[in-house]
Amino acid sequence: MKPVPRGEILVSAEQAKALDREASSSWGLDPFALVEAAGRACAGVFAGTYPGLFLNPGLRIAVAAGSGNNGADAMVMLRALILNGHAAAENCSLVISRVPGETEHTPGSEAFRALRAMGAAWLPWDTRREDSGKALESADLIIDGIAGTGLRDRLRGDPLEMAGLINSLENSFVVSVDVPSGCGDTREADWPVIYASATLAVEPVKSCLYHPVSRTAAGHILPVTGIFPKELQESHGSTYLWDWDAAQKIIPPVNPDDYKYTRGTVEIRAGSQGSAGAARIAARGAQAAGAGLVRLLADRDLYPILASGSGGVMVDDGDTALSGDGRFTPDAMLLGPGWGTDDSRLPVLRRALDAESRGTALVLDADAITLSRDFEFHGSVILTPHAGELARYAGISKEEALASPGTILARLSREKKAVIIFKSHVTWISSPDGRLAAVDGMTPALAAGGSGDLLAGLCAGIAGRTAKRQPRGDLFSAAVAAAALLTAAGKAAAADSGFCDPLTIAEAAAKLAGAAWMGGVRGQRHG
């Protein structure tokens, strides 16, 4: 049997702890073994990713360590770098928030003893603050192991002071082990955190790295693998990180013998005076995702403008045209891009929700999210809010949404019976059945008006295509694939065209989607 394609597992600190316990009780992996494996793997991944840093024979490295296993990982990493000839022990220092006692037998105290024996300097932050500060200031590379998943509440005390100094240094490369110190599942925007150049994300990767509020602090996220058996990780993870390579595989390709009606049909209600572009972008998005037919119903005053140069989109007068009178019943409907929140939209919204109750996939974007706040859904809706829209819709603050996306979305999806795509520089997706996904973004090419309209179109296009194969198809997969496609398209378009408009990004999306789903190589019928 072929393996089911999936993203990378993400876990909370609680899940990581449970996994640790099971690793020890059932797999013979005690804390010493885990710290050894993690620290050495971190050294290997880091040296392999940044070989240029190690060309300097006088490279000065400082480890900033706490007293837990995160500090132990950092010290084992340093020991491995020294043993592999990447640094000389006499150029290395250990700046430690609490020095392990002589009699302690923990992974941290053992790693500490080994480094001291090799000749690394040690500087307790509380009693030798000035020397500790100088060691950090003069380091070319700082390895941050102050606190990992053992962080309780916000950083305070010596670790807080150490983090403050590290953040003030402009010329050193800061690499955090596991998570940047200060980053945790409950971190809020004003909680201090180390801003790392890179983070060595020890498997299973911690989900807090992808909370929008903390994502920037993690810098370049480097997965560190080979620590835990996959089966063990599978049994503890509940959220997955998807990229385009993985996500494209969960969507069936088009068939070589498809006809326009069988490739998925999409009907869009979008645009209003001043926002006609949103309708055009959304329609092009649905085409780019592979829909066979796209119909755009626009307000009467916009209809002539949009109809000219419609590029194969069937444009009609939205004031009189009804769903289905375009000779096909849509497999997916999209309402909202640039639509406005006028009450006159409500009858259309009600009809669309009626279709949704009978299983038609319905994407509600932008203004349609606001309009639908008090309506009930029946499991075939995808909502695509950004932080402001999510905050209004759920009655929370934007900051809460950006700090705890998983918890908030899981609850809202279940209550509303809707798949939700929460858009930001990291996109989070939830399903009423409890599935959660994150798609890393960090693609400023998408931070421009119209990217959301494009996502809504991509989403409707994919939902329409999959609905054709699987009635009441898996909208969560469609949403994950659309978000991953948008990010990949944003990156590709930026590489080719720099700052570009959303229609250029749509062309990049069409290219990627076509290569993934129109190859005809698989020749496989799904559903």
- Decide which of ligand ADP, ligand NAX, none touches 423; Cβ closer than 5 to 8 Å per partner kind: ligand ADP
Q: Are 239 and 406 in contact (CB under 8 A)?
A: yes
174 is in an annotated binding site: no
- Decide which of ligand NAX, ligand ADP, none touches 155; Cβ closer than 5 to 8 Å per partner kind: ligand NAX
Can you tell me the distance from the alpha carbon of 334 to that of 311, in angstroms, rounded to the nearest whole number? 18
* Interface with ligand NAX (CB under 6 A), residue from 9, 34, 283, 408: 34
Cβ of residue 412: shortest distance to ligand ADP, in angstroms? Answer: 17
Cβ of residue 128: shortest distance to ligand NAX, in angstroms? Answer: 18
- Decide which of ligand NAX, ligand ADP, none touches 424; Cβ closer than 5 to 8 Å per partner kind: ligand ADP
Six-digit token string for 61: 């490295």
399's CB contacts (< 8 A; 6+ apart) are 188, 189, 213
* Interface with ligand NAX (CB under 6 A), residue from 202, 250, 294, 478: 202
Q: Are 401 and 391 in contact (CB under 8 A)?
A: yes
Can you tell me the distance from the alpha carbon of 438 to that of 461, in angstroms, rounded to the nearest whole number? 20
Q: Are 53 and 59 in contact (CB under 8 A)?
A: yes
Longest C-alpha distance within the chain, in Å?
83
101 is in an annotated binding site: no
Site string for ligand ADP, 426-455 (x = CB under 6 A): -x-------------xxxx-xx-xxxxx-x
443 is in an annotated binding site: no
424 is in an annotated binding site: yes
Site string for ligand NAX, 142-161 (x = CB under 6 A): -----xxxxxxxxxxx-x--
* Interface with ligand ADP (CB under 6 A), residue from 392, 425, 469, 511: 425
Q: Which of residues 150 and 359 has its CB atom nearest to ligand NAX in the complex? A: 150
* Interface with ligand NAX (CB under 6 A), residue from 8, 20, 110, 316: 20
Cβ of residue 337: shortest distance to ligand ADP, in angstroms? Answer: 7
Cβ of residue 424: shortest distance to ligand NAX, in angstroms? Answer: 25
Can you tell me the distance from the alpha carbon of 180 to that of 406, in angstroms, rounded to the nearest whole number? 19
Can you tell me the distance from the alpha carbon of 207 to that of 241, in angstroms, rounded to the nearest whole number? 9
464 is in an annotated binding site: no
Q: Which of residues 381 and 402 has its CB atom nearest to ligand ADP in the complex? A: 402
Please tell me whether residue 180 binds ligand NAX under the rule CB under 6 A.
no
Please tell me whether residue 8 binds ligand NAX under the rule CB under 6 A.
no
39's CB contacts (< 8 A; 6+ apart) are 72, 73, 74, 75, 76, 77, 79, 80, 111, 177
Q: Which of residues 60 and 211 has its CB atom nearest to ligand NAX in the complex? A: 211
Helices (H), 13-147: 13-27, 31-49, 69-83, 107-118, 129-138
First to last CA, the chain: 17
Task: Give the three-state DSSP class for 298.
Answer: strand
The two counts, helices (H) then strands (E), for the chain are 19, 19
The residue range among 16-24, 248-256, 257-265, 306-314 that interacts with ligand NAX, by the rule CB under 6 A, is 16-24
425 is in an annotated binding site: yes
**Bridge partners (DSSP) listed for residue 212:** none
481 is in an annotated binding site: no
Can you tell me the distance from the alpha carbon of 312 to that of 404, in angstroms, rounded to the nearest whole number? 42
Cβ of residue 101: shortest distance to ligand NAX, in angstroms? Answer: 14
Can you tell me the distance from the alpha carbon of 300 to that of 297, in angstroms, rounded to the nearest whole number? 9
Please tell me whether residue 274 binds ligand ADP under the rule CB under 6 A.
no
Q: Are 270 and 339 in contact (CB under 8 A)?
A: yes
Nearest-10 crossing angle of helices 475-497, 502-517: 120
Q: Which helix (H) or strand (E) holds 458?
A: helix 451-469
Number of chain residues interacting with ligand ADP (CB under 6 A): 19
Which residues make up each annotated binding site for (6S)-NADPHX?
A: 278, 338, 386, 453
Chain positions contacting ligand NAX, by CB under 6 A: 16, 19-20, 34-35, 38, 66-71, 73, 97, 147-157, 159, 177-178, 202
Which residues make up each annotated binding site for AMP?
A: 423-427, 452
Chain positions contacting ligand ADP, by CB under 6 A: 366, 386, 423-425, 427, 441-444, 446-447, 449-453, 455, 486
